[in-house]
Amino acid sequence: MNPDEITDELNVQIQYRLMEKLSESELRYRELVESLREIIFKCDPSGCFTFLNGAWTKTLGYSIAESLSRPLFSFLAPDDLVQGQQLLEQFQKQQAVICQELRFQHQTGEIVWLELSAYFSNQNELGGSLINITDRRQAETTLNEIKEALETRVAQRTAELNQALQDLHRTQTQMVQTEKMSSLGQLVAGVAHEINNPVNFIHGNLAYANQYIATLLKAIALYQQHSIGLNDSVLAELETLDLDFLAEDLTKLLASMKVGSDRIRQIVLSLRNFSRLDEAEFKAVDIHEGIDSTLMILQHRIKDQNNNSGIQVVKHYGKLPMVECYAGQLNQVFMNLLTNAIDALEEIPYPKKNHEGNLQSADWRPTIAIGTELKPSDEFLDVDSVEIRIKDNGMGMPQDVINRIFEPFFTTKPIGKGTGMGLSISYQVVSERHGGILQCISQQGNGTEFLIRIPMIQEEIPT
């Protein structure tokens, strides 16, 4: 065998050996790829599979034969199809390494989360891996759900604690106010009782005093008519006394004393009605009587003073039956609302100006209108009710103030003039104690109106 033949034989053997080695390497590579848990794939530039390892079938259930030549992103869940197509288009333009978590659809229809890692090879092929992260995503979802549930629970508990704190604060304030009103009511009732006795004594004796004085004046007149020959000094003294004037003025004096005693008796009666300590706490009462008693107590602020014309009170009372309520507490509501109306009117310089600074009608006069009427059941109260409206013709309030008017401690008055509790407690008395409605209706320049509606009959006495 010549040297050339020997060389050719060696080359053949070397190539054979190399082919054996390559086959063994490829076999080991394929065995290694097939043993991997993650999916290894290759795609042509259009994104269709050209190679898949066995993990594909184990993970998604599709056979490799039916999956080859199909687009990778066609196996995505419907909700991620658009995102997958956008990723492929972006990938084809930039040919950069991408990593994205996507939802794939198992052959059974189940959703499987896979983490996609892909790149373009030198042969212009798309290659990469898909790692099953379903367990991790489910754990994250569960953790997020637990976190959200805990956050929701914490928020609920925080809200409950804040509400409990507000309720406690409100209850404490209401207890303090109730105690103050109870003490004030006892004081008022005591003062009314102490005044009532001497006033009754004076008032009762005025009739007899009037009768006796009339008799004496009659006797003096008869004596003057029939007496003859009186001493000159007596006649001079009688002339000095001016009996005619005394007789006329004494009658007026007694009449004035009677008017004064009647007035004191009315005030005492109003104080007793306002305090309601001589009656059961919950009973049927005359609403108009409570309003009138409150007006009587506030008369010193309503009547003419400081050269002002005073506040005009206009009543539009409807025909109302007796109403079951906590009379003393409801009277305090009337007191708070009427006091606020008086305060609002006293703040207006005369003549009144609107919120733009323009003078109103020259005949404007500060006025509080009070109206009452029966109301049938409607969408606001599902029972027959009594409606009380207290309206002033003051400057009114802006909407941001109206939105907070019933908040505890909220007040627009200067420091030291108001506590901000009157309307808040009034709201509690009407809504919680009586199951009614208290609304504020106001517009700047057009006054303020408070509307109260309470059931005529309380089906269940609130506790």
192, pLDDT greater than 70: no
pLDDT of residue 104: 92
Whole-number Å distance between alpha carbons of 449 and 443: 9
Q: Which residue has the higher pLDDT, 269 or 211?
A: 211
In tens, the pLDDT along 280-327 reads: 467 888 999 889 888 887 887 887 655 556 788 999 999 999 988 888
Q: HSE-up of 54 (CA within 13 Å, CB side)?
A: 8
With H, G, I as helix, E, B as strand and everything else as coil, classify residue 51.
strand
pLDDT of residue 196: 65
Per the listing, tokens 């996609």 go with: 116
Other CB atoms within a 10 A radius of the CB of residue 239 amount to 9
Strands 312-316 and 367-375 come out as parallel
28, pLDDT greater than 90: no
pLDDT of residue 288: 92
Do 318 and 372 touch, CB atoms closer than 8 A?
yes
Question: 330 φ, ψ to 5°?
Answer: -65, -35
In tens, the pLDDT along 342-352 reads: 888 887 765 55
State both tokens at 159. Answer: 């809200």
100 Cβ contact partners less than 8 Å away, ≥ 6 residues apart: 87, 115, 116
Provide the residue type at 195 as one letter. Answer: I
Over residues 87-111, mean pLDDT: 81
The lowest-confidence range among 27-31, 255-259, 293-297, 419-423 is 27-31
250 Cβ contact partners less than 8 Å away, ≥ 6 residues apart: 213, 217
State both tokens at 145. Answer: 């759900």
Q: Which residue has the higher pLDDT, 198 or 313?
A: 313
208, pLDDT greater than 90: no
pLDDT of residue 444: 83
With H, G, I as helix, E, B as strand and everything else as coil, classify residue 386.
strand
In tens, the pLDDT along 161-179 reads: 888 887 777 666 666 665 5
Return the beta strands (E) in 106-198 as ranges.
111-120, 126-132
State both tokens at 435. Answer: 């199951």
Over residues 50-76, mean pLDDT: 88
Over residues 391-417, mean pLDDT: 79
Over residues 10-35, mean pLDDT: 59
Whole-number Å distance between alpha carbons of 11 and 16: 8
Whole-number Å distance between alpha carbons of 117 and 95: 13
In tens, the pLDDT along 367-380 reads: 999 999 999 888 88
CATH of domain 280-463: 3.30.565.10
pLDDT of residue 329: 82
pLDDT of residue 51: 87
Over residues 267-276, mean pLDDT: 64
pLDDT winner (highest mean) among 377-381, 400-404, 446-450: 446-450
Look up the CATH superfamily of 36-132: PAS domain (3.30.450.20)
Over residues 99-121, mean pLDDT: 87
State both tokens at 208. Answer: 């007899």
In tens, the pLDDT along 114-162 reads: 998 887 776 677 888 888 988 888 888 889 889 989 998 999 988 888 8
Whole-number Å distance between alpha carbons of 58 and 60: 6
Do 451 and 431 touch, CB atoms closer than 8 A?
no
pLDDT of residue 173: 66
Q: What is the mean pLDDT of the chain?
A: 77
pLDDT of residue 422: 77
Over residues 325-333, mean pLDDT: 84
pLDDT of residue 278: 44
Residue 277: pLDDT band (50, 70, 90) is: very low
Over residues 226-247, mean pLDDT: 68
The lowest-confidence range among 43-57, 242-256, 314-328 is 242-256
Residue 9: pLDDT band (50, 70, 90) is: low
Q: Which residue has the higher pLDDT, 29 or 372?
A: 372
Question: How much of the chain exceeds pLDDT 90, in percent?
Answer: 11
Do 288 and 307 touch, CB atoms closer than 8 A?
no
Q: H/E element holding 58? A: helix 55-60
Cis bond upstream, residue 351 (ω within 30): yes
pLDDT of residue 290: 86
Over residues 459-463, mean pLDDT: 53
415, pLDDT greater than 70: no
